[in-house]
Amino acid sequence: MIAVRKEWCKLARGHNSSLKVFLSSRNLSSQRMATRHRIKGVIFDMDGTLTVPVLDFAEMRRRVGVKEGDILHVISSWPEEEKAAALSTIETIEAEALEKTELMPHLESLCAFLDSKSVKRGLVTRNVQNSIDHFHNLFPLPTFSPALGREFEPCKPDPAAILHICEKWDIPPEECVVVGDSLKHDVIAGKKAGAKTILLDSGSNYLSSEIDTSQRPDYFTLSLLEVHEIFKSEFII
């Protein structure tokens, strides 16, 4: 069993590259915390978390014409005609990506485990509802509910959608976990809501030296298998 501690370190590899990891150990049973956090619900991101990442966000920015800033927030300030055209371009790119959608490895076993413990599963994405529906058509287990796309405003990193789900579940945010692959959207939204956070960095996109203390997740993982292990070893469910 892998128990992941909430500490960052940086390991040198060769002379010019580095690898970021959380300090981990395979034998922490004697060092376990006296108390483990109780959770009753898990709210997942979709793209890059429940599904293998396929969206090319650099190409999306190029085609829409947004070089910097949160692309959805920038577009929201444009005149209505320009905003509509930009959103149409984004939706076209998202629709093209649907053909390549694949479930993230270990997703089914993780969700089956949560279901067996009666832990609620929700979904919050900056993608559209049509993409959520497509994902659910591929997913063999009961759907995520509630499952909110960007039609629910304001979208992440605002915590509104997460708090809305917690209210629907009648579960305090402190008893929920947010799992996602983005620090600036998923982790920040989860932290603002008061939930525990797990960063899924399956693409090895983050270096610890680049992450501000205010953005650091409670747990860092490289796969849903590791997320599964964290739920078994670090939480009471």
What are the catalytic residues?
Answer: 45, 47
Distance CA 187, CA 169 (A): 20
Enter the DSSP assignment of 160. H
Enter the DSSP assignment of 125. -
Q: How buried is residue 157: exposed, middle or buried, by Cβ count under 10 Å (0-12/13-18/19+)?
A: buried
Cα–Cα–Cα angle for 157, 139, 217, rounded to 5 degrees: 30
Distance CA 10, CA 20 (A): 5
Give the H/E segment covering residue 185.
none
Torsion of CA 65, 71, 76, 81, to 10 degrees: 30
* CA-based nearest residue to 199, from 45, 76, 25: 45
Q: How far is residue 168 CA from its own chain's centroid?
A: 20
Distance CA 139, CA 104 (A): 10
* CA-based nearest residue to 162, from 129, 128, 126, 110: 126
Single-letter residue type at 168: K
